[in-house]
Amino acid sequence: MTPQDACKITRDICSRAPVIPVLVVHDKATARPLAEALVSGGLPALEVTLRTPAALDVIREMADVAGGVVGAGTLITPADVRAAKAAGAAFGVSPGATDALIRACEDENLPLLAGAATATEAMRLLERGYDIQKFFPAAINGGAPALKAIGAPLPQIDFCPTGGVSADNAADYLALDNVICVGGSWVAPAGLVARGEWDAITTLARDAARAGATL
């Protein structure tokens, strides 16, 4: 997969809704109802972070949910990439980018939303052909004002900021010309997931989707 093909697919996925839920799921039994709740609320693109032993099983479960597209987050190594693709991930997300990770995604035909925190990192990814990137960690790297400033000299790059993005500040990011969507965990709070309050999660997802659509 070429960087251009990867970016085309990634851009399509990121354009489906203003918010990509960033999910840390500990129990695969919650995977399907959680995905169904989020998709029903209007958030079809889901990022399952590889931070729990259940993550790959969660991806397998969510990959079968109608109307959704599930990706694997926290990709660090080529082994992560291969495992995520085998589990059914349709895209990958990484906190940063290394040559080995990028090559593995290209070899496995897994579109990558690679992370960048500085203008130099963003330029290096752009040099490799990646013009849609993750801005991470967004909040401690200056938030929306910093991303706006990066966009001035690099208008050809679109970003999905994550890390400290919440219901309170998501609109600040989404109002920027160089932001295609945001990633955040607030639409699937751990407490609601643990209690199986799927209707409440659908409501949070619907509110997030509507808020983004009004900008």
DSSP string, 113-164: E-EE-SHHHHHHHHHTT--EEEETTTGGGTHHHHHHHHHTT-TT-EEEE-SS
Tell me if 192 is assigned to some domain.
yes
164 within a domain of the structure (yes/no):
yes
Q: Is residue 165 part of a domain?
A: yes
φ, ψ of residue 112 to 5 degrees: the values are -120, 130
Q: Domain of residue 127: give its range.
A: 3-197
Q: What CATH number corresponds to the domain at position 101?
A: 3.20.20.70
Q: Is 154 inside any structural domain?
A: yes
Establish if 62 belongs to a structural domain. Answer: yes
Question: How far is residue 198's CA from residue 58's CA, in Å, rounded to a whole number?
Answer: 16
- For 168, residues 6+ apart whose C-beta sits below 8 A from its C-beta are none
How far apart (Å, rounded) are the C-alpha atoms in residues 61 and 173?
31
For residues 198 and 30, give the distance between their C-alpha atoms in angstroms, rounded to a whole number. Answer: 10
Residue 141's alpha-carbon distances to 135, 155, 165, 168, 180, in angstroms, are 9, 19, 12, 17, 18
Residue 213 lies in a domain: no
Q: Which residues are catalytic?
A: 47, 134
Is residue 204 domain-resident?
A: no
Q: What is the mean pLDDT of each run of 10 residues along the chain (215 residues)?
A: 96 97 97 98 98 98 97 98 98 97 98 98 98 98 97 97 96 97 97 97 96 65
* Residue 214 belongs to some domain of the structure: no
The predicted pLDDT at position 211 comes to: 78
> How many structural domains does the chain have?
1
Burial class (CB in 10 A: 0-12, 13-18, 19+), 120: exposed
pTM value is 0.95
Q: Give the per-residue pLDDT at 213.
A: 61
